[in-house]
Amino acid sequence: MSTIVAIVGRPNVGKSTLFNRLIKRREAIVDSVSGVTRDRNYGKSEWNGKEFSVIDTGGYIKGSDDIFEAEIRKQVELAIDEADVIMFVVDVEEGITPMDDEVAKLLRKITKPVIVVVNKVDNAMREKDAYEFYNLGLGDYITISSTSGSGTGELLDELIKVFPDKPEPTQEELELPRFAVVGRPNAGKSSFINALIGVDRYIVTDIAGTTRDSIDTKYNRFGFEFNLVDTAGIRRKAKVKEDLEFYSVMRSVRAIEHADVCILMIDATRGFEGQDQSIFWLAAKNRKGIIILVNKWDLVEKDTMSTRDYESKIRKELEPFTDVTILFVSALTKQRLLKALEETVKVYENRKQRIATSKFNDHMLKLIEAYPPPALKGKYVKIKYCMQLPTPTPQFVFFANLPQYVKEPYKRFLENKIRENWDFSGVPIDIYIREK
């Protein structure tokens, strides 16, 4: 299970620069995913073999100075609730400000690991100035310059030392599909879950989640056995304003990371909004299976918009990843709930699908011969061999003489051809071109 690290602090201390630096380390190792640049506040990182998720609270604050303080407090409280480790970023140039004191006051009350990161320390003089931050009462600190990158290695070494021990999932947990119902507040997640599992809650066993706030419950319903990952809608926090975008994203992160398939609920009366998109790309970035349920369809005036129009509008927003099942349901009238569960199980099976190398080569090499990659600078790209990698999610590698000349449009062509021939509906696919 991935550890969640939240970066908190007042505006302009360099949180986003540090966030970008941590995420880039990851992108240097793993090809960055196309089409997922929309969500700039969440990313995956890795250091010394330990993978973790990073959430930057900085980008969410909007509005005038006078509401900053309340917003920052809200975000820090939420980060404290949801993250495993907190990085508290302060600015050596300005020293301790009243707002830093406020944040420190919140952080002193918690038992989770807090790392004080003193930013903008780029010379020996500033190293001395950093002593002041002992006064925050949060123990030792680490000095960095997020712009030049100095000190980030030491910071990451310290960070992974304080990661909580997470038990490895049991064989039974690994074998049962894990579904998470995600979506913005009030989309009908709780009603859907209650309708799906029935009031008498067909509970077979309760498996305590790997963290205090993600509970896996094992269900047997309509002949399917699955784990349901408890999510945002079930554990409402009165003190968090429901419409905060940060709230939806932060709450969804853990549920998404713990799931095999994400059931994204959207409110038919509101349409496919920015927050829904953020959650969709969050699931895609984590290589999870996805199915979209348009809930409250019974409340929509049917003459104003047909399912076809509504669906094509959503698909337009999902480009380039449009191979996703969209179902129109009503948790209230229980309309199409069985179908929704059947489709979710199907996405789970698609994600586990393995294609034999000989079969894959037979089909794809013929296609590639008919439509080779375009020549570049008079050089011709030849692809002689391809295979599916033995990874938990579908990844394919194509071996070529000049991999650097194979550009994004051709990779997309290959992905489309794979999808045309094998059912990977609802599942993100990775395509790699390597030297033969």
Residue 124 marked in a binding site: no
Residue 309 marked in a binding site: no
Q: In what order do the strands lie in the sheet with 430-435?
A: 383-388, 395-400, 430-435
Rounded to 10°, the helix 274-285/245-257 angle is 30
Residue 297 marked in a binding site: yes
Residue 298 marked in a binding site: yes
Residue 186 marked in a binding site: yes
Buried b (16+ CB within 10 A) or exposed e, 59-83: ebeeeeeeeeeebbbbbbebbbbbb
Residue 50 marked in a binding site: no
Residue 274 marked in a binding site: no
Tell me the residue type at 210: T
The DSSP secondary-structure symbol of 386 reads E
Tell me the residue type at 346: K
DSSP code per residue over 162-205: TPPP-PPPPHHHHHS-EEEEE-STTSSHHHHHHHHHTTTTTEEE
Residue 361 marked in a binding site: no
Residue 229 marked in a binding site: no
Residue 351 marked in a binding site: no
The answer to whether the beta carbons of residues 5 and 289 sit under 8 Å apart is no
Longest Cα pair distance anywhere in the chain, in angstroms?
A: 70
Residue 270 marked in a binding site: no
Residue 120 marked in a binding site: yes
Rg (CA), the chain: 24
Selection from 147, 44, 42, 52 nearest residue 91 by Cα: 147
Residue 118 marked in a binding site: no
Q: Backbone phi, then psi, for 94, in 5-degree steps?
A: -100, -10
Residue 47 marked in a binding site: no
Residue 189 marked in a binding site: yes
Residue 426 marked in a binding site: no
Residue 190 marked in a binding site: yes
Residue 112 marked in a binding site: no
Report residue 66 as tokens. 């006078």
Residue 294 marked in a binding site: no
Residue 37 marked in a binding site: no
Residue 234 marked in a binding site: yes
Query: Annotated binding site: which residue ranges?
Result: 9-16, 56-60, 119-122, 183-190, 230-234, 295-298
Binding site, annotated residues for GTP: 9-16, 56-60, 119-122, 183-190, 230-234, 295-298
